[in-house]
Structure 1
Amino acid sequence: FRRDQVWFTEKDQYEATDLYSLLEFKEDGKTVRNDRSFEADYIKGRYGAIPYLSNFQEI
């Protein structure tokens, strides 16, 4: 994927959702490099929008 094809959503304290692309994300004032492992960095919480997986058997 290109950086402009990766989008994140994150809810704030008021349950409003913020939508932003990886292209907009800046780290130390610089854009994310193309050779970064976007998936691994996302799971680590680097881009915000931290994944929350609940117990799906309860649903």
Structure 2
Amino acid sequence: MTLDSKEIDKNVIKNSRIFHFGSLSMTHKPAASATLDSAKYAKEWSHRVLCSQFTTAFMELV
């Protein structure tokens, strides 16, 4: 079972300061889409978005 974008609890992200994700969640859909949607939502709230597996260029796409 993988996370779908519809299952994201935006209040959890909104009430945090950092959003960290691992590269494994980016390997297959729908988890990859849910991860990107969550990262974009975190950036909207000016939270730090971290993933040590991706380059700075990739993170600028979020």
TM range (shorter): under 0.3
Give the structure with higher Rg (CA). Answer: 1
More helix by share: 2
Q: Name the TM-score, length of structure 2 as normaliser.
A: 0.25
Which structure has greater strand proportion?
A: 1
Higher RCO (C-alpha 8 Å, min separation 6): 2
TM norm structure 1: 0.25
